[in-house]
Structure 1
Amino acid sequence: MSISGKSITISPLYLLLAAFSLCFTFSIASKSGDPIPAPWPEQFHSILFMNNTKGNLQIVDLWYDFPNGRNFNIIQNQLGKKLYDLEWDNHTSFYYTLDANKECRVMHFPVGLLRPNWLQDGKYLGQRYRDGFLCNVWEKVDFIWYYEDVVTKRPVYWAFYTGMIAHVMTFEVGRVLADPNWQAPVYCFKEANKEEISSPVSLVTDDNVSISKLMGAAMDVSLLL
């Protein structure tokens, strides 16, 4: 997906949701006695340091608010644009800027928010050190490798099969963004901004689609496998 011809990145939670969706097709059971990953708190704030598949660096300000059916990613690209990625459990996502250009795209997906227990049935891989922390590691359907601190049970690091990686810099349980900040700007509601994804398969087979939209389409196609 792009705003003014530039590719934008589907949020890390959409990539995680793709892995969660695949579990309906593939059953991966952990061995008896293996550690169980901690469910995500229903509300938290986290700052992520991201390196995407092209080596571009991003700081992602993530607000997860499952009880209210919403998730917000504020994405600062290195020496570049700040993108606001607002996701709702009614399957609607707004991608916009708050600069003078007033750019906005509206996307509709056949899946909602990532559930707190999305990592259940992940394959336990043992303990490894990552970013200086001893972590329990799980893999989900060859899509994501999830590192959780052995002591605090907080997430430390995510690695996606695409090559995208995320370092978890902060993780504040129970912190909630104030309601006025969840309102997309009025220019997002123009008819021209609406873009419905009706056929995920057609997006996956489109050679001209950006990698970000391809990942979003792959998430939807996983439900059809």
Structure 2
Amino acid sequence: MLTIRKASDRGAANHGWLKSFHTFSFANYYDPEHMGFSALRVINDDTVEPGMGFGNHGHRDMEIISYVLEGDLAHKDSQGNIKTLPVGEFQLMSAGSGITHSEYNHSKDRKLSFLQIWIEPSIKGQMPNYQQKNFGQDEGLTHVISRDGVGDTLQIKQNANLYQLILKDTKHAELKSTSARQYVHLISGELAVNGVEIKSGDGLKISDEKLLSFSSLSDEPIKALVFELP
């Protein structure tokens, strides 16, 4: 079964310094039909104005993934990590028993655009942890996050996987999955997944499908995130 979550149907928030689209219920946006999908709880498409950001705040028992689309994300947390996340790199912060952090756009003239993703952990109360890595821009599917950290992937505290999908000259890719559910978030281009067509910003909830077939439908390069979920 494949169900489209259209970009135009997402929740929206405009705080002046921050514009955000919420795939699932978040903050003041509440929709009982869209509370998450399996362990995937949040996908926020955030745009932060120059010199602005999220002040120091806390999290607990959540796996938080950030992926920058434009600009640079400045990160600082209570574990002593002071990092910059540029375009194309993945950040995974395991909040565990509790962590505080801030996220800022320190540029004076460039906007920051990034995806903020939350996945509920299967193990709670663990020591907080921070990971960051650039997996490159190879075409096809690149494994970036796994439960066991296999193949130098970032390690998440959930039975979940995350892949980066890029299609340029190559127009097709496939994923054989043993997971109960999958979710695709399309960042750019137009894409068919098992024949179902989605556009930039759309999501696709998937269940009872063991083979995912991805086909580019546009001249624009395809970039998407593909989740395998419990």
TM-score (norm 1): 0.24
Higher relative contact order at CA 8 Å, sep ≥6: structure 1 or structure 2?
1
Higher helix share: 1
Kindly indicate which of the two structures has a greater share of residues assigned to strand: 2
What TM-score do the two structures reach when normalised by structure 2? 0.24
